[in-house]
């Protein structure tokens, strides 16, 4: 049964007939196919990999098409495994402190200059 090849996605065509989610075959062009493979986050893909429509932004689809048809230049951009992890507590504080240290304060910039006469 066809299923979505994206890492962390459990969508399968079986049992999802009434949904608006559709599966889309990988491109046949080698360069574009490689880009899709890299984006989906798996090291091994099935023989005939597909991605579900949940991994594409709405503008990746042809307007008013049923079933949903991808535009020829569509690229999958929505992947839960690529979302940045939210830092919490001490980790977040350390990151903020490091950012302050790396970014010079404009007010302090001119105060530490030595004047040579």
> What does the pLDDT look like over 70-104, one tens digit per residue?
999 999 998 876 655 555 666 666 776 776 766 55
pLDDT of amino acid 57:
93
Q: Which residues of 76-110 are buried (b: 16+ CB within 10 A; e: fewer)?
A: bebbeeeeeeeeeeeeeeeeeeeeeeeeeeeeeee
Calculate what percentage of the chain has a pLDDT beyond 90.
Answer: 35
**53's torsion region: left (phi>0), alpha (psi -120 to 50) or beta?**
alpha
Strands (E), the chain: 23-25, 50-52
């Amino acid at each position: 049964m066809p299923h979505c090849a994206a890492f962390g996605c459990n969508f399968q065509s079986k049992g999802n007939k009434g949904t608006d989610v559709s599966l889309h075959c990988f491109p046949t062009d080698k360069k574009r196919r490689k880009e899709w493979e890299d984006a989906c986050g798996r090291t091994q893909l099935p023989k005939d990999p597909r991605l579900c429509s949940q991994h594409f932004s709405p503008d990746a689809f042809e307007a008013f098409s049923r079933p949903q048809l991808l535009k020829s230049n569509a690229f999958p951009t929505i992947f839960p495994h690529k979302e940045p992890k939210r830092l919490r507590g001490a980790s977040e504080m350390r990151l903020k402190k490091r950012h302050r240290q790396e970014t010079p304060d404009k007010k302090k910039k001119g105060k530490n200059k030595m004047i040579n006469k």
